[in-house]
């Protein structure tokens, strides 16, 4: 099993803390018998933390699935929003919003829903509402990415922090080309990804449906 770069940082930090505390407690144990019980408790707690980091930051190997007529799930999770909205930042008006909510237990890697050129990127420092909250899309800390596909269609996705999530990682920069279902970022802990599609897109999923990032087609894009 692979680990994301963000997870490797956490594993190194936890391992350093583990080694430091064990060294201190072991030195104390040479003088006091009760300290051996402390060693056992510290060992158990730090081992749990390392296992937790490894599990949370897992980076699964998945088949590369590509179809330029489709927009794929940018994240693992459950579909919590399918509605027509106004989105002036990138889409310039009415469009379809489709949101995938990630629980604490989901893989938190994010994938590009379409191929194309990154035409817009903006990070907004906002609140930390629960990620399923309707207003979290605009009020929470988030990173917005706009992509123009080879056919000329504009698609936008937004990585949104949650109540616990406090760090959003977005790899692409304006001018970069992203390929459909390549890894484009990571969000720590419970969070969500909103996908904004042009009107006329054929939605292929339903509310509360569980989807797999980079594997589940969410919509068929309209022909330009």
Pair (214, 137) in one structural domain: yes
Pair (159, 213) in one structural domain: yes
Percent of the chain with pLDDT over 90: 53
Pair (91, 179) in one structural domain: yes
For residue 199, what are the domain limits? Answer: 70-220
Total domain count for the chain?
2
Reported as a single tens digit per residue, the pLDDT across 131-161 is 445 544 556 788 999 999 999 999 999 998 8
Strand ranges for the chain from DSSP E = 2-3, 58-59, 70-72, 77-87, 93-102, 109-111, 116-124, 142-148, 154-160, 168-170, 177-178, 183-187, 191-197, 202-203, 210-211, 217-220
Residue 121 pLDDT greater than 50, yes or no: yes
Q: Quick check: is 110 in a domain?
A: yes
Lowest mean pLDDT among 7-21, 57-71, 93-107, 180-194: 7-21
Pair (54, 90) in one structural domain: no
Residue 90 pLDDT greater than 70, yes or no: yes
Residue 216 pLDDT greater than 70, yes or no: yes
Pair (181, 204) in one structural domain: yes
pLDDT bracket for residue 218 (50, 70, 90): very high
Pair (150, 186) in one structural domain: yes
Pair (80, 186) in one structural domain: yes
Q: What pLDDT does residue 56 have?
A: 65
Pair (94, 53) in one structural domain: no
Pair (44, 127) in one structural domain: no
Domain CATH for 84: 2.70.70.10
Sheet holding 202-203, edge to edge: 70-72, 217-220, 202-203
Pair (97, 196) in one structural domain: yes
Reported as a single tens digit per residue, the pLDDT across 14-60 is 566 666 666 666 666 656 666 666 666 776 676 666 666 666 677 88
Q: Quick check: is 117 in a domain?
A: yes
Q: Quick check: is 212 in a domain?
A: yes
Q: Quick check: is 65 in a domain?
A: no
State yes or no: is 137 an active-site residue: no
Pair (48, 75) in one structural domain: no
Pair (101, 211) in one structural domain: yes
57-85 per-residue burial string, b: 16 or more CB within 10 A, e: under 16:
bebeeeeeeeeeebbbbbbbbbbbbbeee
Among 115, 136, 161, 191, the one annotated catalytic: 191
Q: Quick check: is 64 in a domain?
A: no
């Amino acid at each position: 099993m692979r680990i994301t770069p963000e997870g490797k940082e956490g594993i190194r930090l936890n391992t350093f803390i583990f080694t430091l505390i064990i060294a201190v407690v072991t030195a104390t144990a040479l003088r006091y018998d009760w300290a051996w019980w402390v060693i056992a408790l510290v060992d158990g707690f730090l081992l749990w933390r390392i296992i937790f980091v490894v599990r949370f930051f897992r980076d699964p190997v998945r088949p590369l699935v590509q179809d330029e007529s489709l927009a794929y799930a940018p994240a693992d999770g459950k579909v919590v929003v399918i509605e027509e909205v106004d989105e002036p930042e990138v889409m310039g008006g009415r469009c379809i919003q489709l949101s995938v909510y990630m629980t604490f237990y989901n893989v938190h890697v994010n994938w590009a829903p379409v191929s194309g050129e990154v035409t817009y990127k903006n990070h907004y420092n906002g609140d930390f509402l629960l990620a399923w909250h309707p207003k979290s899309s605009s009020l929470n800390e988030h990173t917005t990415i706009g992509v123009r596909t080879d056919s000329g269609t504009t698609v936008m996705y937004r990585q949104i922090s949650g109540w616990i999530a406090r760090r959003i990682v977005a790899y692409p920069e304006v001018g970069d080309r992203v390929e459909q279902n390549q890894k484009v970022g990571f969000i720590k802990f419970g969070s969500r990804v909103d996908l904004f599609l042009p009107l006329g897109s054929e939605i292929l999923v339903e509310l509360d449906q569980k989807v797999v990032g980079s594997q589940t087609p969410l919509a068929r894009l309209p022909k330009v």
